[in-house]
Amino acid sequence: LRDWLGLILGKKMQLRIILAILVIGLVLTRSRMGNSAFFISLLACSFLWVFLSRRRPTTSVVVLFVSLIVIDLYIVGTWFGFDRVVERMEHSSVDIETRGNIGESVVSAITEFGLSGSGLGTFKTVFPNYKDSGIQVSYLYAHNDYLQFILEGGLAVLLLLAVLIMTIFTAYLAMRARKDPLFRGIGFASLMGVIAILIHSAVDFNLQIPANAMMFVLLLALAWIGRYGVKRER
């Protein structure tokens, strides 16, 4: 009884409850790619964590990863509408949504503006001149951060790409090289968050939203803290 009470009142249970609340919020968004990106990044980073572990993963770590999938995906998801997210995925069609056609029009604009780009924040002004006649909706964003950044930033985007690649590798090094579990966990969190946003950004405009962009920068910074942060005091 004492052990169970210790588990229920301990920090691990607090963390588990917080994770459950975050997943509930994610499921309630009904976002198809948002939910897919979360679970894909979680699974990828979890397997990487196990692969990089110098010793056999502890039971608590295994239980945490398994419970994230089983409890969140099936139990929480069933209560809070994960089935509706799946239904949206099954009924998605390029014929119904014109988001899939935006890419071709954006590529045409990129070809004309070339290396200089059209200027940051100019998508909503430039796009109407290049959009396909079949697109009846007025889009303020490209629903693809990669294409929008290339269109607006031109060659300068390559610098951002170089920083991004270096940061992802730094998060990986934090998981592999650091001995302190806190900094290894920071590397895991950074890598998982960055991967999730990168996946979702292929079909949405995450980084055009200031709050999301600020969170993304924070996740990038955490990778460097996890790799080179000072040693913790006892």
The pLDDT value given to residue 97 = 54
The pLDDT value given to residue 23 = 80
* Distance separating alpha carbons of residues 227 and 234, to the nearest angstrom: 19
Ranges of residues in the chain with a pLDDT under 70 are 54-61, 64, 67-69, 71-100, 133-134, 136, 230-234
The pLDDT value given to residue 52 = 84
Residues ≥6 apart with Cβ < 8 Å to 74 = none
- Using one digit for the tens of pLDDT, what is the confidence trace for 41-96? 988 998 898 888 766 666 666 776 776 667 666 665 666 555 665 565 555 554 44
* Distance separating alpha carbons of residues 37 and 115, to the nearest angstrom: 31
Rg of the chain over all Cα atoms, to the nearest angstrom: 21
Report which DSSP code applies to 204: S
The pLDDT value given to residue 143 = 87
The backbone region for 120, taken as left when phi is positive above 0, alpha when psi lies in -120 to 50, beta otherwise, is beta
| 3-state SS assignment for residue 139 | coil
* Mean pLDDT estimate for the chain: 81
